[in-house]
């Protein structure tokens, strides 16, 4: 009965989504205020219906109701409660439910916070959101219904995929989807602007918090996914350039570009057309990611063709939204007026360079991810595009961008002074180069490339705070004056500083772990000791243990240095009872920013030895601390005063001034 | 009984899985082994999804790792080893596709992106420069206007 209620709520959500699409749209086009005023309530209603439906599915999982096919396929009564709960989105149907739950949440949030928007713009944005909700709710109901029943109900479920039985699943997909789907708001704003034919600095100011929110979640989601893969998959890699990762990385690149170009539009009313296009692209790439991950096309074009229903429907949705948006863009973008002028060497110019490189990077990832599919579809030949390709193309693109980052905030709007900026940065450059030289000195025989990498990392970190430093007036101004000035700075300045510094922190982590990591693969018997980067690691032995829904063999390693015991590390090999599936649980000990990482291989036949893989990963955690800094930066920017006050006062004054000047 | 089942499962598993590079595969010569590792990272495990043979635990990956090391010990250059593997398994085995006419677009994308984007930006500035001349404001007036605008923005960053 409860399950039918959830099913009914989902059908209701589809019907309400259609209303949410049609009524506000008609209202906005005909100027009917009553119809426009219905938009927020419809958005709330759709959210309520989907939330109810999602809640029922969650109940099915928590209560282990195996009469629901989806629960039977992906859950088990022995699973810990957390994994019963997260199992809801650990499968195709459930993850699509999470997708539309978040989509409708954003729709409701726009309705809730949108009271300062012009009514027709708000109605139009909510209408576009409704159209997306209609498409995906329909997709779920007609091709991926999570409420399909089984009769008679089996006694026990088939268990969640063991690799997914981890806290990571509780955090990673929701964060990632909040990011992915968050860009739907930017998309809706872009479509609304194109339909309305009006776009100005105020538009950019309204879109900015949504872009920032989506970007913050996506950044956190990708970083979290990277750490999850790092400790769960057991071979110590943190980024694999896997198509699924690329699917989330492309919207991030486009979203980062959007964040920067919207800044130009907000301040200077320039790059309007381009910003609209980026808003469309960011969400289009999110849709593409959904398609790639959900259609099975990645395994092979043929796997996709063997069960094409879902894939074809998502592809149709993809073509409809992306194609429709681009056609609308082509038809209407010429009506948008051009904005302010600027010199190539200026803040705008720097942001344009950022956009050029980020979108080229996104295009590279896009082509690299889809090339094998295209080649297979066109010629039938199979090729692979993997990590070595992306390393070879992505890194050279990023280096000029990273070098340019500290200059950006120091250049003035309209016409900047590159020489002046360089003069203000040379101390920071000196610090960075010094750091590189110290690296060469400390790590004798360090590759020159590593020293250059360290220099770039430090350049980004100290350079990020150049603007703050300059504005503080230090060292000339007294400490007290400086503090007063700093506390008076707009929060977005701090946001920029933290986010850019985060980029430097990531760079340091990547360089350090790729240049200085140590790896040992060897056979060890209980009692054996091995050296790892100055540590002594003793293998004590293995013992079996019984988990809630798995059995495991846990190894104990004692790590010591100069005879002093430091840590105990317990990697394990597990067998999940329901699926008989083995997994490797890495043992990790964190020291400062570095980690000792131990994973177990196979027992050696005919002996008491086991293959052990040990890594010393220097500064590896910086790779994930960097994104945390970026998220903090994003939050600072989000809390900036100018995003909280509704009325864009300076723009209004600017118009008066312009009117007076004419 | 339960324990027994678990033991059976473990046996079953150890019979099929071998985790990535194993000590018994590794070469004694560290320089040669380092080359083998680098080459392994460029070769795809054919039965896995987007995994190099260096990271994969599949049997086929093990076989390929052994082949790579055999060729290296026989005195092949890195390029010869890759050619040898490609001749047997096709270009699908390469994680880094070769520079060829078919892969031109793939390798050309970064450069093409920068060139097209750069060209678009140059065109934009050309047009803007033309448009600027058309506003009819003298340089002095432009500066005065921007000064007024800057004052208008006040403390707004």
**pLDDT tens digits along A561-618:** 998 999 999 999 988 888 888 888 899 999 999 999 999 988 888 888 998 999 999 9
Residues B23, B78: one domain? yes
Residues B114 and B137 in one domain: yes
Q: For chain A, how many structural domains are there in total?
A: 4
Question: Residues A274, A374: one domain?
Answer: yes
Residues B7 and B74 occupy one common structural domain: yes
Total structural domains within chain B: 2
What CA–CA distances, in Å, run from B25 to A159, B14, B36, B64, B70?
A: 36, 17, 11, 11, 10
Per-residue DSSP letters for A320-387?
A: IIIIHHHHHHHHHGGGSPP-----SSSHHHHHHHHHHHHHHHHHHHHHHHHHHHHHHHHH-------H
CB A322 within 8 A of CB A329: no
In a domain, A639, yes or no: no
3 state SS of A163? helix
Contact B125 A344 (CB under 8 A): yes
Which run of H or E residues covers position A655? helix A649-661
The better pLDDT of the pair A297, A26 is held by A26
Task: Answer yes or no: is pLDDT of A381 > 80.
Answer: yes
Residue B154 has pLDDT above 70, yes or no: no
Q: Which residue is closest to A544 within chain B, CA to CA?
A: B3
- φ/ψ of residue A292, rounded to 5: -60, -45
Residue B25 shares a structural domain with residue B74: yes
Is the pLDDT confidence value at A661 over 60? no
Mean per-residue pLDDT over chain A, rounded: 88
C-alpha angle with apex B118: B116 to B122, nearest 5 degrees? 115
The sign of the dihedral angle between the CA atoms of A584, A585, A586, A587 is negative
CA A544 → CA A572, A605, B19, distances in Å?
9, 18, 20
Count other C-beta atoms under 10 Å from residue A469's C-beta. Answer: 19
- Residue A423's pLDDT band (cuts 50, 70, 90): confident
Quick one: pLDDT band at residue B140, thresholds 50, 70, 90?
low
CA angle A597, A599, A603 (to 5 degrees): 150
Per-residue tokens: A241: 């350039």
Residue B98 lies in a domain: no
Q: What percentage of chain A reaches a pLDDT higher than 70?
A: 95
Each residue's pLDDT tens digit, A447-477: 888 889 999 999 999 999 988 888 887 777 7
Q: At which of B40, B60, B93 does a domain end?
A: B93
Q: Are residues A506 and A539 in the same domain?
A: no
Q: Which residue has the tokens 């400390």?
A: A442
Say what angle helices A308-318 and A119-143 make with each other, to 10 degrees. Answer: 170
In A, which residues are within 8 Å of B152 by CB distance? 650, 653-654, 657
CB A597 within 8 A of CB A615: yes
Q: Of B64, B93, B122, which residue constitutes the final position of a domain?
A: B93
CA B91 to CA A416: how far, in whole Å? 50
A404 pLDDT band, cuts 50/70/90, is very high
Looking at residue A598, the DSSP 8-state letter turns out to be E
| Domain termination residue (choose one: A165, A196, A227) | A165
A156: phi > 0 → left, psi -120 to 50 → alpha, else beta; which?
beta
A226/A356 same-domain check: yes
DSSP at A412? P
Residue tagged 């991030």 (tokens): A252
Q: Is residue B67 part of a domain?
A: yes
Task: Identify the pLDDT of residue B17.
Answer: 35
Question: Is A210 exposed, middle or buried (CB count within 10 Å of its CB: 0-12, 13-18, 19+)?
Answer: buried
Q: Do B10 and A553 touch (CB under 8 A)?
A: yes
Q: Are A63 and A85 in contact (CB under 8 A)?
A: no
A5 contact partners, CB below 8 Å, separation of at least 6: A52, A56
pLDDT at B149 over 70: no
Over residues A326-377, the pLDDT tens digits come to 999 998 887 776 667 788 888 888 999 999 999 999 999 999 999 988 888 8
Same domain, A504 and A535: no
Q: Do A240 and B50 touch (CB under 8 A)?
A: yes
- Interval A473-530: pLDDT, tens: 777 778 888 888 888 888 889 999 999 999 999 999 999 998 888 888 889 999 999 9
**Together in a domain, B116 and B76:** no
CB < 8 Å to A397, chain B: 110, 114
Mean pLDDT within A48-64: 95
Instruction: Determine phi and psi for A342, rounding to 5 degrees.
Output: -155, 155
CA dist B56 to A132, A431, A541, A549, Å? 40, 42, 26, 26
Domain hosting A156: range is 1-165
Residue B2, pLDDT score: 39
Question: 């110019």: which residue's tokens?
Answer: A349
Cis peptide before A368 (omega within 30 of 0): no
Determine, yes or no, domain membership for A641: no
Which residues of chain B neighbour A357 with C-beta distances below 8 Å?
114
How big is the CA angle at A622 (ends A617 and A628), to the nearest 5 degrees?
Answer: 145
Helix A308-318 to helix A272-295 angle (10° resolution) is: 180
Distance between CA atoms of residues A408 and A354, nearest Å: 9
CB contact under 8 A, B55 and A356: no
> Would you call B146 and A382 a contact, using CB atoms and an 8 Å cutoff?
no
Residues A340 and A436 in one domain: no
Residue-level pLDDT at B102: 87
Which CATH number fits the domain that encloses residue B24? Answer: 1.10.8.640
At residue A276, the pLDDT reads 92
Query: Helix, strand or coil for residue A573?
Result: strand
Same-domain status, B132 and B59: no
Q: How far apart are CA A149 and CA A488, in angstroms?
A: 60
Are A447 and A530 in the same domain?
A: no
Q: How many Å apart are CA A361 and CA A356, to the nearest integer?
A: 9
Q: What is the pLDDT of residue A307?
A: 62
Query: With contact defined as beta carbons under 8 Å apart, do B22 and B62 qualify?
Result: yes
Instruction: Flag if B50 and A386 touch (Cβ within 8 Å).
Output: yes
Residue A256 has pLDDT above 70, yes or no: yes
pLDDT bin (cut points 50, 70, 90) of residue A662 is very low
Quote the radius of gyration of chain B (alpha carbons, Å).
30
Question: Is residue A467 within 8 Å of residue A494, measured between CB atoms?
Answer: no
Task: For an interface test with A, give the residue of B59, B92, B112, B113 to mutate (most A CBs within 10 A).
Answer: B113
B47 and B87 belong to one structural domain = yes
Same domain, residue pair A14 and A32: yes
Percent of chain A at pLDDT exceeding 90: 54
Do residue B131 and residue A650 have CB atoms under 8 angstroms apart?
A: no
Residue with tokens 């479920």: A157
Query: Across the interface, do A601 and B22 touch by the CB < 8 Å criterion?
Result: yes
The verdict on residue B99 lying in a domain is: no
Min distance B59 CA to chain A CA atoms (Å): 13
Q: Report pLDDT for A304.
A: 56
Is residue B33 situated within a structural domain?
yes
What ipTM score was computed for the predicted complex, to two decimals? 0.82
Position with higher pLDDT, A193 vs B6: A193
Residues B89 and B108 in one domain: no
* Core vs surface per residue B57-89: b (16+ CB within 10 A) or e: bbeebbebbebbbebbeeebeeeebbebbeeeb
- Distance between CA atoms of A428 and A459, rounded to whole angstroms? 7
Residue A245 burial by CB count (10 A; 0-12/13-18/19+): exposed, middle or buried? buried
- Whether A157 contacts A77, CB under 8 Å: yes
Evaluate whether A68 touches A147 at the Cβ level (below 8 Å).
yes
Q: Which of A397, A278, A338, A247 is nearest to B131 (CA)?
A: A338
The C-alpha angle with vertex A116 and arms to A114 and A121, in degrees rounded to 5, equals 65
Q: Is A157 exposed, middle or buried (0-12, 13-18, 19+ CB in 10 A)?
A: buried
Out of A110, A134, A165, pick the residue that ends a domain: A165
pLDDT, position A380: 84
Q: Is residue B63 part of a domain?
A: yes
Query: Helix crossing, A272-295 with A347-379: angle to 10°?
Result: 30
pLDDT in tens, B18-59: 356 778 788 888 888 889 988 988 898 887 777 888 888 788
Q: Are residues A485 and A540 in the same domain?
A: no
On the 0-12 / 13-18 / 19+ scale of CB atoms within 10 A, A358 is buried
Give the separation between CA B133 and CA B139, rounded to whole angstroms: 10
Residues of B in contact with A384 (CB under 8 A): 44, 50, 91-95, 97
How many other CB atoms are found less than 10 A from the CB of residue A449? 11
pLDDT at B150 over 90: no
Q: Are A650 and B154 inside 8 Å of each other by CB?
A: yes
CA atoms within 13 A on the CB side of A641: 9
Check whether residue A302 and residue A425 sit in a common domain: no
- Chain mean position to CA A294: 17
Helices (H), A63-154: 69-74, 81-86, 92-113, 119-143
Closest CA to A17 of A103, A119, A142: A103
CA distance A467 to chain B (A): 12
Q: What is the pLDDT of residues A556-568, one digit of tens each?
A: 999 999 989 999 9
A432, two tokens: 């960075």
Closest residue on chain A to B130 (Cα) = A341
Instruction: Report pLDDT for A651.
Output: 47
Handedness of CA B43, B49, B54, B60 (dihedral sign): negative
User: Does residue A633 contact residue A260 with C-beta atoms inside 8 Å?
Assistant: no
* A66: number of Cβ within 10 Å: 22
CB A405 within 8 A of CB A460: yes
Distance, in Å, from the CA atom of B126 to the CA atom of B142, rounded to the nearest integer, reads 18
Supply the range of the domain harboring residue B87. 2-93
Q: What chain A residue is nearest to B135 in terms of C-alpha separation? A: A662
């Amino acid at each position: 009965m409860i399950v039918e209620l959830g099913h009914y709520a989902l059908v209701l959500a589809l019907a309400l989504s259609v209303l949410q699409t049609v009524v506000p749209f008609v209202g906005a086009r005909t100027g009917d205020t009553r119809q426009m005023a219905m938009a927020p309530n419809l958005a709330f209603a759709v959210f309520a219906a989907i939330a109810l439906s999602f809640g029922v599915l969650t109940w099915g999982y928590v209560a282990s109701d195996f009469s629901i096919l989806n629960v039977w396929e992906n859950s088990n009564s022995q699973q810990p409660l957390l994994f019963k709960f997260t199992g809801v989105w650990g499968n195709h149907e459930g993850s699509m439910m999470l997708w539309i739950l978040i989509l409708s949440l954003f729709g409701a949030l726009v309705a809730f916070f949108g009271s300062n928007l012009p009514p027709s713009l708000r109605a139009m944005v909510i209408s576009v959101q409704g159209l997306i909700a209609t498409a995906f709710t329909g997709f779920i109901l007609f091709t991926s219904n999570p409420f399909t029943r089984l009769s008679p109900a089996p006694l026990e479920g088939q268990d969640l995929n063991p690799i997914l039985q981890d806290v990571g699943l509780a955090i990673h997909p929701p964060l990632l989807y909040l990011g992915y789907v968050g860009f739907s708001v930017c998309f809706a704003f872009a479509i609304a602007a194109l339909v309305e034919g009006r776009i100005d600095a105020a538009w950019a100011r309204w879109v900015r918090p949504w872009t920032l929110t989506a970007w913050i979640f996506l950044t956190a989601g990708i970083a979290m996914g990277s750490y999850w893969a790092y400790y769960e998959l057991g071979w110590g890699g943190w980024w694999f350039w896997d198509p699924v990762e690329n699917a989330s990385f492309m919207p991030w690149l486009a979203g980062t570009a959007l964040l920067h170009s919207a800044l130009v539009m907000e301040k200077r009313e320039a790059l309007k057309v381009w910003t609209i296009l980026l808003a469309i692209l960011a969400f289009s790439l999110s849709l593409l990611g959904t398609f790639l991950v959900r259609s099975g096309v990645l395994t092979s074009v043929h796997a996709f063709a063997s069960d094409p229903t879902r894939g074809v429907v998502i592809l149709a949705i993809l073509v409809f939204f992306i194609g429709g948006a681009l056609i609308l863009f082509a038809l209407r973008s010429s009506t948008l007026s051009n904005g302010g002028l600027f010199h190539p060497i200026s803040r705008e110019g720097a942001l344009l360079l950022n956009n050029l490189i980020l979108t080229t990077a996104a295009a590279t990832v896009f082509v690299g991810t889809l090339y094998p599919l295209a080649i297979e579809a066109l010629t039938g030949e199979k090729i692979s595009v993997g990590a070595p390709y992306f390393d070879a193309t992505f890194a050279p693109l990023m280096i000029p961008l990273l070098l340019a980052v500290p200059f950006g905030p120091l250049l003035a709007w309209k016409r900047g002074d590159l020489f002046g900026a360089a003069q203000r940065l040379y101390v920071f450059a000196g610090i960075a180069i010094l750091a590189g030289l110290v690296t060469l000195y400390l790590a004798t025989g360090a590759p020159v490339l590593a020293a250059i990498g360290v220099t770039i990392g430090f350049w980004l970190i100290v350079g990020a705070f150049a603007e703050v430093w300059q504005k503080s007036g230090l060292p000339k101004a007294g400490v007290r004056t400086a503090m007063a000035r700093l506390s008076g700075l707009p929060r977005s300045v701090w946001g920029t500083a933290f986010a850019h510094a985060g980029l430097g922190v990531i760079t340091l982590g990547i360089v350090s772990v790729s240049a200085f990591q140590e790896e040992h693969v060897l056979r060890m018997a209980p009692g054996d000791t091995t050296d790892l980067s100055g540590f002594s690691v003793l293998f004590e032995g293995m013992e079996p243990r019984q988990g809630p829904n798995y059995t495991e063999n846990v190894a104990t390693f004692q790590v010591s240095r100069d005879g002093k015991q430091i840590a105990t590390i317990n990697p394990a090999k597990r067998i999940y009872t329901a699926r008989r599936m083995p997994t490797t649980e890495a043992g990790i000990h964190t020291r400062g920013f570095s980690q000792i990482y131990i994973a177990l291989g196979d027992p050696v036949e005919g002996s008491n030895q086991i293959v052990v893989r040990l890594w010393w990963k220097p500064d590896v955690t910086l790779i994930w601390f960097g994104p945390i800094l970026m998220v903090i930066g994003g939050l600072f920017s989000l809390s900036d005063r100018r995003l909280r006050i509704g009325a864009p006062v300076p723009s209004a004054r600017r118009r008066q001034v312009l009117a007076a000047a004419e | 009984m339960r324990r027994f089942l678990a033991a059976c499962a473990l046996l079953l598993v150890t019979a099929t899985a071998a985790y990535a590079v194993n000590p018994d595969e590794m070469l004694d010569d560290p320089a040669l082994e380092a080359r083998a590792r680098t080459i392994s990272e460029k070769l795809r495990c054919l039965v896995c999804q987007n995994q190099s043979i260096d990271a994969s635990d599949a049997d086929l990956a093990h076989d390929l790792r052994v082949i790579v090391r055999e060729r290296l010990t026989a005195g092949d250059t890195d390029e010869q080893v890759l050619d040898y593997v490609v001749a047997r398994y096709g270009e699908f085995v390469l994680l880094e596709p070769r520079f060829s006419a078919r892969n031109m677009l793939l390798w050309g994308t970064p450069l093409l992106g920068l060139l097209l984007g750069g060209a678009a930006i140059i065109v934009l500035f050309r047009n803007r420069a033309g448009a600027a001349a058309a506003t009819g404001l003298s340089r002095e007036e432009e500066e005065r206007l921007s000064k007024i605008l800057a004052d208008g923005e006040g403390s707004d960053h």
